[in-house]
Each structure stands twice: as C-alpha cells, then as structure tokens.
Amino acid sequence: MSLLRLMYLGLAIWGAVHPMYHFLPWLQENNFDINALISAWKANAAVAGLYWDLVIAAVALTIWVLAEVAVRRNWLALIAIPVTFGVGVSCGFPLYLFLRSRPIR
C-alpha cells in the first residue's frame, strides 16, 4: 500500500475517532437525544455556519462519489456516502479518497 493511501486511511480513522470523542460524551449527557444535538448545531450563527458548511460539503461529496462510481464502476466507494452522513465528512472524504486511489486491476 502506498504512503498516500496510508495517509488517507489514517485521516479517515482520525476523522471517525476524534469527532466521536466529543460527540459521544455529549450524547450520553443528553440521553442520546438527536433532536437536542441538532438544536445545538443551530445554537448560534457561528455553529450554524459550520453546520451548513459541513452539510454542503457532504452533499458535494455525495454527488462526486455518485458521478465517479457511475463512470469507474468502483461500487465499494459507495460506502463513503453513508459514512459521510453517519460519521461525518472528516471520515467520509478521506475514506473515499482511500477507496478511489486503490490500484486498478
């Protein structure tokens, strides 16, 4: 495996672990109330701006993944879509780059 692919994989793992380090304690304190989490994301203009920045990035990544999968037929790369919306862009994007950069057979 190339150094570049290892870096993408490392970023995907970091992008899954580090945000969850902050999300999970907050969710535990708030009884896993997803509505409270969404309300917190819109608590003020700064947080709302970051929220929308990530939503737009996730939608753009989804469109890119779908467009490339249609051409390259790299079906495994579709896993990046639910990862992006379930874990976050910080995991889904480097995961997609990792999957996309695998050697072509």
Is residue 71, in this structure, part of any structural domain at all? yes
Is residue 91, in this structure, part of any structural domain at all? yes
Q: Which residue, 52, 58, 47, 103, is CA-closest to 80? A: 58
Query: Which residues span the domain enclosing 47?
Result: 3-100
How many other CB atoms are there within 10 angstroms of residue 41's CB atom? 14
State yes or no: pLDDT of 104 exceeds 90: no
State yes or no: pLDDT of 105 exceeds 80: no
Gap between the Cα atoms of 40 and 37, Å rounded: 5
Is residue 32, in this structure, part of any structural domain at all? yes
- Give me the chain's average pLDDT, please: 93
Is residue 72, in this structure, part of any structural domain at all? yes
Q: Which residue, 57, 67, 47, is CA-closest to 92? A: 57
Is residue 23, in this structure, part of any structural domain at all? yes
Expressed in angstroms, the distance from the first to the final Cα of the chain is 14
Coil, strand or helix: which one is 87? Answer: coil
Q: Per the structure block, which two tokens stand in for 43?
A: 């608590």
State yes or no: pLDDT of 98 exceeds 80: yes
State yes or no: pLDDT of 85 exceeds 80: yes
**Number of structural domains found in the chain:** 1
Is residue 90, in this structure, part of any structural domain at all? yes
Identify the band that residue 38 occupies on the pLDDT scale cut at 50, 70 and 90.
Answer: confident
pLDDT at 100: 94
For residue 38, how far is the Cα from the chain centroid? Answer: 17
The proportion of the chain whose per-residue pLDDT surpasses 70, expressed as a percent, equals 99
Identify the band that residue 23 occupies on the pLDDT scale cut at 50, 70 and 90.
Answer: confident
Is residue 105, in this structure, part of any structural domain at all? no
